[in-house]
Chains A and B, each alone.
Chain A
Amino acid sequence: MKPSFDILIVGIGGQGTVLASNVIGEACIIENRSVRSAETHGMAQRGGSVESHIRVDGKFGSLITPGTADLLIAFDLLEALRYRHYLPEGGRLVVNRHLVVPTSVYQQELAVPDEESILAALSDLDVTCIDAAGLAEEAGSSLSQNIVMLGAASGDIPLRPETLEEAMRRCVPPKTVAVNAKAFRLGRAAGGRGASAP
């Protein structure tokens, strides 16, 4: 049996992947469990593709090996495609129905990727697609999309939802706790795993 539950969160620099992974890390501390994680810093953050590795109950290194992740959370469809090889066959993907076309596509006149073809290329996985922008607006701020995504994936994460919510409260700016709490619950209800909307 794998000793850790390995989560890869991917997105674009500036989307809040690090905050989402911080919530999971804090939740591990609250539940007295070991955790290892790795983040992208420095130049790569400037609008580039970013990844956060989080290994719940991890005791060794922080990096997840391709083909062995237990859960992939993608904040962008194209990033889901870029990192899908981290999942085993039929692995679990929670993805934001959102696509930012990289500027490189226009600059180098590459074929513009579209939502339908990306979803088709992901369809052999166990996929849940989330309208994070819509749910974040409903929660009260488009900035809460990362917490919507975390909520949506929370049913797959072996941490108690109330722990994740408490960790979220510790990680987000105090003024945004109410909005983010709503974002988490809306996301959790939309994620459809072990979710009973409060």
Chain B
Amino acid sequence: MAVRYLLGNEGIAHACLEANIDFASGYPGTPSSEVVDVLRMQKDRPLTVEWSTNEKVAFENALAAAWCGLRTLCTMKHVGLNVAADPLMTSAYTGVTGGFVVLSADDPFAHSSQNEQDTRRYAHFARLPCLDPASVQEAHDMMRDAFTLSEEFGLPVLFRPTTRICHSKGDVAIGPIGTDHRTAVFHGDPNQYVVIPAHTRRLHKALNAKQPAIRKRLVELGYNRHTVRGRTAVVASGVAAAYVQEVLPDDVSLAVIGAYPIDEAWLKSFVDQHEKVLVIEELAPVVEEAVRQVATTTEVFGKMTGTVPYEGEFTPATVAAAMQGAGIPPTVVFPEATPVPGVPPRPPILCAGCMHRSTFYAMRKVFRDGIFPSDIGCYTLGLQLGAVDTTICMGASITIGSGIARSGEERPVVCTIGDSTFLHTGIPGLVNAVYNGSDMVVVILDNRITAMTGHQPNPNTGVTATGVESVPVSLETICKSCGVAWVETVDPYDLPLLLETFREAKERSGVRVIIAKQPCVITARRSGIRRKPYAVDTERCTGCGACRSFGCPAIAFTGKNATITDLCAGCGVCADICPSGAIGKEGRP
């Protein structure tokens, strides 16, 4: 055993290696991405790893490997589980032979997400066991043992870390990497793998019959545990349990819930020993509902009494305030501390030299009255540039756009979607738009990589997750085969040509596709591409502010006059924007 300083996701990945994992798939999504990133880069244990095109694809590939008897992991963020929900629900019926763990990372406070949904609800919905670690060490230990649990019940196991587990670090005790490998064999059994009505009715009964034994086993494994120390108690789950332990008085009992479904008899015996119980958990009141079901005379505090927030991420201060609200004084009273008012915000921003910025600039210049549905990726930051009117979920730019266009709204619709998102769930929307005769422009922001989640390769990149060269898909050919008659590829650093392409698109009708193609500025820099920075000729700068609207972080202002800082990546687009010709390479206009 060794102790290392590990990120939660690194600890989780290492646990998979300890558990003799042979197959891993996933689609990148914060805060889950580093698990597959570690597995695909490591050299200690040979295994099959893939970044799949979306979560449903990832799930089904992993499920198949588990049907062949392999120990298998599939990772995604919470909203990815919506995409994979179709196979998830029925995989509970078919079951698995090899241990199959589905990691779905929740994001309380929506640090990098479009909602605050709770994976534990899916576990309940699908009737699958769900593990909910309270610390980085527990995340490691639970993941190591989750494959055995999956095999014991022949079911997929949901593993639900939250952002503060995935992206926290700590001293983690790890074990040796496993050396056993399984040979994949598919033992065909239509009764199990072909879910026609006659089979699925029987499989549903079998799934339900497994539940009492699962509940009991999760208590035996110590994932759900309690200590009785007084007449009042706190019941906490996930990372909130760690915050509770920071402020819990010695005479207050504690139950920690780390796994679902919760055994009712076990929970009832704990609740019944107390006059008052406070339930503290982030997101949905899953534990609270269970406590309320078993409580008879015990007074229960939680979200439903207004004592604990339904939304957002907790801190030790949130927990202390909830305890005070329930009349259970915490050991620590945190000071009143409010931020200094009026500090200018520093939100995330598209990088200097990002190809999305010039594309958005040209789009808005040509389509002044346009409606701009967009999608999930770095380019959602185009909101700051007035270039994003809608974002709801992966792939929804084209579908929302065609819906607006076909609703009778008369303003032009120009939607933007990244290359990875297009391959994820964009294509069916494009086929649909062409088939049904939508009138719209689709801009594919093609930076050759899945950038926001940490630059994972995709089928557009020309390399697989493990670094094997692959044939990059042709976005042009895909669009044409969907029936798009007009597809233009343009370099977004060439502003005059970009503007001309948008103008031409405006003249046409039907579904028109512009592919703006230029590598992500971060990957370009990493691969050694250096462009000379630009500078402002102060004599020529008139302070007109044309470059201000471009919103590049490398352009600063002294009074009205622009200067270019050392953040400049040399894309040169601002030189084309400046009406006075004051911007040039190294100050030579």
Q: Are B384 and A107 in contact (CB under 8 A)?
A: yes
Question: Cβ of B557 < 8 Å from any Cβ of A?
Answer: yes
B112–A82 contact, CB under 8 A? no
| Contact yes or no, B3 A68, CB < 8 A | no
Residue of B at shortest CB range from A89?
Answer: B335
With A38-B167, A42-B31 as known contacts, state yes or no: A47 contacts B335, CB within 8 Å.
no
In the complex with contacts A36-B170, A44-B112, A85-B556 CB distance below 8 A = no
Report if A88 contacts B (CB, 8 A).
yes
Question: For window 63-78 of chain A, which residues contact chain B by CB distance below 8 Å?
Answer: 63, 65-68, 78
Cβ–Cβ contact A62 & B344, under 8 A: no
A112 to B454 Cα, complex, angstroms = 32
Which residues of chain A come closer than 8 Å to B350, judged between CB atoms? 46
Question: Separation in Å of the B111 CB from the closest CB of chain A?
Answer: 6
**Residues of chain A lying within 8 A (CB to CB) of residue B246:** 60-61
* CB atoms of B343 and A34 under 8 A apart: no
The residues of B that contact A35 with a CB separation of less than 8 Å are: 5, 169-171
Query: What 0/1 pattern do residues 31 to 56 of A give for CB contact below 8 A with B?
Result: 01111111111111111110000000
Q: How far is the CA of A62 from the CA of B171 in the complex (A)?
A: 12
- Given A36-B170, A37-B170, A78-B346, check contact A101 B5 (CB 8 Å): no
Q: Most A CB atoms within 10 A — which of B34, B339, B548?
A: B339
A105 at the interface (CB under 8 A from B): yes
User: Would A105 and B170 be within 8 Å (CB), given that A42-B453, A66-B337, A85-B337 are in contact?
Assistant: no
Residues on A with beta carbons closer than 8 Å to the beta carbon of B552: 103
Residues of A within 8 A of B67 (CB): none
Given contacts A65-B317, A110-B344, contact A41 B349 (CB under 8 A): no
Chain B contact residues (Cβ within 8 angstroms of A): what range? 35 or more
Nearest CB of chain B from residue A40's CB, rounded to whole Å = 8
**Given A61, A81, A107, which contacts B343 in the complex, CB threshold below 8 Å?**
A81
Q: Do A48 and B349 touch (CB < 8 A)?
A: yes
Instruction: For the complex, count residues of A whose C-beta is within 8 A of B.
Output: 56
Please give, as numbers and ranges, the residues of chain A lying within 8 Å of B112 by CB-CB distance: 41-44
Question: Which of B111, B169, B335, B348 is within 8 Å of A62, CB to CB?
Answer: B169
Residue from A28, A45, A101, A107 within 8 A of B548 (CB atoms): A107
Provide the residues of chain A in CB contact with B556, threshold 8 Å.
Answer: 101, 106
Is A81 in contact with B334, judged by CB distance below 8 angstroms?
no
A59 CA / B99 CA spacing, docked (Å): 31
Given contacts A62-B164, A66-B337, contact A103 B349 (CB under 8 A): yes
CB distance from A155 to the nearest CB of B (A): 22
Q: Let me know if B344 and A102 touch, CB within 8 A.
A: yes
Most chain A CB within a 10 A radius of its CB, from B168, B239, B315 = B168
Q: How far is the CA of A84 from the CA of B552 in the complex (A)?
A: 28
| A-B contact number at CB 8 A | 170
Q: Does any Cβ of A come within 8 Å of B57's Cβ?
A: no
Pairwise interchain contact A48-B346, C-beta atoms closer than 8 A: yes
From A39, A68, A102, B167 is in contact (CB under 8 Å) with A39
Cross-chain contact A61 with B242 (CB below 8 angstroms): yes
Per-residue interface assignment for chain B, residues 357 to 382, with 1 indicating a CB less than 8 Å from any chain A CB and 0 otherwise = 00000000000000000000010110
Cβ contact within 8 Å between A65 and B344: no
Indicate if the CB atoms of B339 and A46 lie closer than 8 Å: no
* Residues of A close to B467: CB separation below 8 A: none
Q: Write the A145-172 contact mask toward B (1 if CB under 8 angstroms, else 0).
A: 0000000000000000000000000000
Bound state CA distance, A12 and B345, in angstroms? 12
Chain B contacts of A81 at CB under 8 A? Answer: 340, 343
Residues of A within 8 A of B325 (CB): none
* Residue of B whose beta carbon sits closest to that of A48: B348
Closest to A167 in B: B5
A-chain residues with CB within 8 Å of residue B344 when the two chains form the complex: 78, 101-102, 104-105, 110-111, 113
Question: Which A residues are in CB contact (< 8 Å) with B335?
Answer: 66-68, 88
The reply to whether B378 and A43 contact each other, CB–CB distance below 8 Å, is yes
The minimal Cβ–Cβ distance linking B316 to chain A, given in whole angstroms, is 5
A184 at the interface (CB under 8 A from B): no
A61 engages B5 (CB within 8 Å): no
Over the window 74-97 of chain A, the binary record of Cβ atoms lying under 8 Å from chain B Cβ atoms (1 yes, 0 no) is: 000011011111101000000000
**What are 19 contact pairs spanning A and B, CB under 8 A?**
A33-B171, A38-B167, A39-B168, A39-B169, A41-B34, A42-B31, A42-B111, A43-B378, A63-B164, A63-B315, A63-B316, A66-B338, A82-B339, A82-B346, A83-B339, A84-B340, A85-B337, A101-B344, A103-B552
Give residues in A with beta carbon < 8 Å to B: 12-13, 21-22, 25-26, 28-29, 32-49, 58, 60-63, 65-68, 78-79, 81-86, 88, 101-107, 110-113, 121
7 residue pairs, one from A and one from B, having the closest CB atoms: A67-B337, A42-B30, A42-B112, A48-B348, A66-B337, A67-B335, A62-B168
Besides the contacts A38-B167, A42-B452, what 19 more A-B pairs have beta carbons closer than 8 Å?
A28-B171, A29-B4, A34-B171, A39-B7, A39-B168, A41-B31, A41-B34, A42-B112, A43-B380, A46-B349, A46-B381, A48-B347, A48-B348, A60-B243, A60-B246, A61-B315, A65-B334, A66-B317, A86-B337
